[in-house]
Amino acid sequence: MSDDHTATAPPTALVTIAARPFAFTFPPGRAALVIIDMQRDFIEPGGFGASLGNDVSRLEAAVAPTRALLDAWRARGWPVVHTRESHAPDLSDCPPAKRTRGNPRLRIGDHGPMGRLLVRGEPGCDIVPALAPLPGEVVIDKPGKGAFHATPLQGRLTAFDVSHLVFAGVTTEVCVQTTMREANDRGYDSLLVEEATASYFPHFKDSAIEMIVAQGGIVGWAAPLAAVLRALPEPAPATAPPPPPTNVAPSPPGR
C-alpha cells in the first residue's frame, strides 16, 4: 500500500447537452461561445443585407436567444468570441470577385445609411447593441465567410485552451456553417444552438442544420437553447467585497 495520503481533487464532471445526433459533451470552461456576424449591416434596415434585397427582420429573432447564451457564458467566465465580416477602408482585403458579384443596390464599401458597407470602423459594421462585446472578449474581423480564414482566431482559441465551440449568429447557411466546417477540419467539436441562428431564407436554415448533424454529426451538433442552458453548471457565486475595517484608530491630523 502506498504511503502517499495526499488528497486529489475529484475530476470535474463534463457538461452534457441533449443534442442531435447525440449528446454533446465538453469540460467546463473549455467551450468558447462563438457569435458570428451579429452586425448592424446584416440585421438592421439600410445595411448590406438589405442592399441584397433581403428581409432583414428575419434575423432579429436570433438576437434574444444569442443574448441568453452570452449572459450564461459571461456569468461563468467562459471564453466568448465575436466575429464581424468586414474589410479594410481601402478594400485591399476584399477580392474584386466578392465586391462585384451580383447586382445589389449597394456594394461593399459603398456609402449607405450606416456608413460604408462592411467597412471596419463604420457604424454598420458594429455588432448590434444588445450583443455588444465587453472588454476582454475576443473580436475577430474576418474578410471572408469563415472565421478562421485570414484571421488570428485559432491562436486565440489555443491561448484560452479551448477544445469545443458553441455557435450562434448569422446567417446559418453561409458564415455560420462555413466556420463550423473550418472548425471541424481543425479538430474542434462544435454545437449550433438552433434558436440563436437565423437566415434570410428560413428553409436554408433548416437545411443547413440538417446537413450539419447528418451522417453522425459529419460537421457538428445542434441543440435547442433550453437544452443548452439546462445542462450548464451553476455559475460560481460572486465574491463579496471585503467588509470595511472596524475599530481603526483615526489618522493623525495633517501638519
Which residues are part of the catalytic machinery?
Answer: 37, 142, 175
Distance in angstroms (rounded) separating the CA atoms of residues 74 and 80: 8
**CA 190, 196, 201: angle at the middle one, nearest 5?**
105
| H or E stretch covering 205 | helix 202-217
Distances (CA, A) of 106 to 43, 92, 114, 132, 194: 16, 18, 12, 26, 31
Q: How many C-alpha atoms does 215 have within 13 Å on its Cβ side?
A: 4
Q: Name the grid cell of 235.
A: 455559475
- Which one, of 128, 33, 35, lies nearest residue 74 by Cα? 33
Strand partners, 74: none
The backbone region for 24, taken as left when phi is positive above 0, alpha when psi lies in -120 to 50, beta otherwise, is: beta
Amino acid at residue number 230: R
The gap from C-alpha 95 to its chain's centroid, in whole angstroms, comes to: 25
For β-strands 138-142 and 80-85, DSSP reports them as parallel
Strand partners, 31: 164
Q: What is the DSSP letter of 39?
A: B
